[in-house]
Structure 1
Amino acid sequence: MNKKVVLIIPYFGKVPDYFNLWLKSAERNSDYTFFIYTDLNFKVDENSNVKIKNISFDELKERIKSLFGNNIKLKSPYKLCDYRPAYGVIFKDDINDFDFWGFCDIDLIFGNLNHFISNEIFENYDKLFYHGHFCLFKNCDKMNYLFMKKYENVCDFKFASHTNYSCHFDENGTVSYAYENEIDIKQYFKWCFYDVPYNSYKFITISSQYEKYAYWNNGNLFMCDADNNKNEIMYIHLQKRKMSNWLDIDEKCNSFYILRDEFLDTKNVNIYDILNFIDINRQNIFDLKTKNKRKKQILDNILSGALIARLKSFKQK
């Protein structure tokens, strides 16, 4: 790949579970650079393509206020999702040497990005993908300031940045609808990843004879089932799913399975026996936690101004 690409990841709170596996999969994509802005002590080799940028959440908040005014709302790190499309401006000084910049989540495992994003795609498109868990923009003024535009019946940056409610501006705002409104913006999208349903213990919610699982092998990632059906994917998004056994996958491990709520080293494991057995107790615990998380999310949304935000959005339409 002859394009220089950087993924920008502000992260605050606590070191996430299975960061070691996210890191392993990110480092296998050596053509890509990852900037993690954080005040946490991430253990990353200095020669890694994953770079740690030390900054506190309050310092980042002040940087954003200096750009967009003191009245912007940024109560918690989760709200940063509404500022992701502005990262080209917020982190401008750090990304000058890159051809593309973007953002991604840490609750995912990468496959081989080069198998899905070619030089030709970079040459012919301004924006690649549109989900909050992975999205890329050409590093130019047209795309870096795209978030400032306004379209009819679409959430704009001023609205999203002046409410404590998380509007998911990275997916539902101006930049997601730009290709419909701007004739000179070309967006590339292909459904080449797997988005695990957050509310299902199994990896698949539709009626299926076979349970799905993912297989990471030397940087390549596949979705598989017990009938030996296999297809390569760009990444798997686990949507903050609580996973276990991630500490059992050491640095020397070159392959592992991802299924339901755990990671498994492929050594001495019969994946088909595991697929054929579902621990009902673990499934019940998963379902209960999912319901409780959803209740908490609804309450948090209400307290942060969701009803007012949605009412204003309705009036706009």
Structure 2
Amino acid sequence: MKTAFLCPYFGTFPKHMQLWINSCGTNNDTTFYLFTDDKQNLNYPDNFIVKYTTLEELKDFFQSKFDFKISLSGVYKLGDYKPLYGYLFEDLIKDYDAWGYLDVPDEICGYVSEFVNEEAFKDVDKLMTRGHMTIFKNTPEINRRFMADTGEMFNYRDIFSSEHFFNFEEIAKGSISWIYVNNKWNMNLLNDAVADVSGLFYDFRRSCISDKLEYYRPSKAPSIYAREDGKVYGYFLEKGQVVKREYLYLHFKRRKMQINVPLEADKYLIVPSGFEPYKEVTDDVIKHYAKKKWFYPVFWEEVKKSIVRKFTKNNGR
């Protein structure tokens, strides 16, 4: 099936941007639409369509789709708009079977069609529930489901006329995922396909999402990841044995990744500190890279940000 990803990104690309582009570029049956104001010279593969624009221009385009004044004062608010892309870019994606959104700076893609296919969409219209990647069937009705009852004291008009961030793209109350739950529209969570490692801890700790839209961690096994032959693999040390699993993508939330491989590389290790030259993954290699840091400052920074966001949002409604 043909899938389109819609990817606005404003500001300076991260230093590992070419690695992200290359990881997407091996998916010949998937198109990546990148909307950006960064015009630096990068090697874009044939399945990329880059549209140079500004956040203000994109806001004007979004505004043309609504009969009320919308708010899009900064890039952070773009997260709320992700589930609307099928509606907002309807003409652009009319020839695709499915569309999705994904994060640009903090993930490496594997082989999309291995996981996003007719079998995955059997009896469902939505794959995954995460802001860093979610995919929908492409129909006019599905693309307008964001307008349905949120189950909360606010609706989509309240969300998109407010400057506050509602986390509409993920699993917060009133989000697109809760709209699906409240209306009994089925979703495929694809937990086994997603390597979502927490940004709160130095070592990689993969999380999943339950049917109740709650996070949980399926394993405490030490782990690292690798990009090999156009795919993403996780290596886990379980009961003294190295276990290898394939994933749709690896998401490494807001990590400061060191780049110790050429930017054109397509085979490398992905470890908590960054990108490292590929080597055969043994138990010793996993132990070397998967060490914990008990005093990891990012944890406390994120806790502080979370408290500030909740306080600001609750006092602004």
TM-score, length basis structure 1: 0.83
Deviation at 1:163, TM superposition (A): 2.3
CA distance in 1, matches of 2:188, 2:2: 18
| Structure 2 counterpart of 1:218 | 229
Residues 151-194 of structure 1 deviation map (CA, whole Å, 9 limit, x = unaligned): 433753122213222110111335313433445x4422220211
SS of 2:204's partner is coil
CA distance in 1, matches of 2:267, 2:188: 30
Q: Is the 8 A contact 2:108 2:251 kept in 1?
A: yes
| Structure 1 counterpart of 2:210 | none
CA distance in 2, matches of 1:229, 1:186: 31
SS of 1:161's partner is helix
| Structure 2 counterpart of 1:149 | 148
CA distance in 2, matches of 1:120, 1:288: 42
| Structure 2 counterpart of 1:307 | 314
| Structure 2 counterpart of 1:292 | 301
| Structure 1 counterpart of 2:213 | none
The total of aligned residue pairs comes to 300
Counterpart amino acid of residue 126 in structure 2: K
| Structure 1 counterpart of 2:246 | 232
CA distance in 2, matches of 1:297, 1:121: 33
Deviation at 1:15, TM superposition (A): 0.6
Q: Is the 8 A contact 1:157 1:174 kept in 2?
A: no
**Distance 1:109-1:84 versus aligned 2 partners, 3 A rule:** same
Counterpart amino acid of residue 232 in structure 2: L
Q: Is the 8 A contact 1:34 1:49 kept in 2?
A: yes
**Distance 1:136-1:274 versus aligned 2 partners, 3 A rule:** closer
% identical equivalent positions? 29
CA distance in 1, matches of 2:250, 2:205: 13
| Structure 1 counterpart of 2:177 | 176
CA distance in 1, matches of 2:288, 2:154: 45
| Structure 2 counterpart of 1:315 | none
Compare the two structures and name the one with the higher strand fraction: 2
SS of 2:157's partner is helix
Structure 1 residue runs of 5 or longer lacking an equivalent are 313-317
Which one is further off, 93-102 or 205-214?
205-214
Q: Is the 8 A contact 1:154 1:174 kept in 2?
A: no
Deviation at 1:124, TM superposition (A): 4.2
CA distance in 2, matches of 1:51, 1:208: 38
- Does residue 86 of the first structure (1) align with residue 87 of the second (2)? no
Which one is further off, 51-60 or 172-181?
172-181
CA distance in 2, matches of 1:269, 1:141: 46
Q: Is the 8 A contact 1:126 1:186 kept in 2?
A: yes
Compare the two structures and name the one with the higher helix fraction: 1
SS of 2:100's partner is strand
Residues 269-290 of structure 1 deviation map (CA, whole Å, 9 limit, x = unaligned): 988357336789xx47x82244
Structure 2 residue runs of 5 or longer lacking an equivalent are 207-216
- The correspondence of residues 180-259 of structure 1 with structure 2, limited to 5 A, is 180-182=181-183, 185-191=185-191, 192-204=193-205, 211-226=222-237, 227-245=241-259, 248-251=261-264, 253-259=265-271
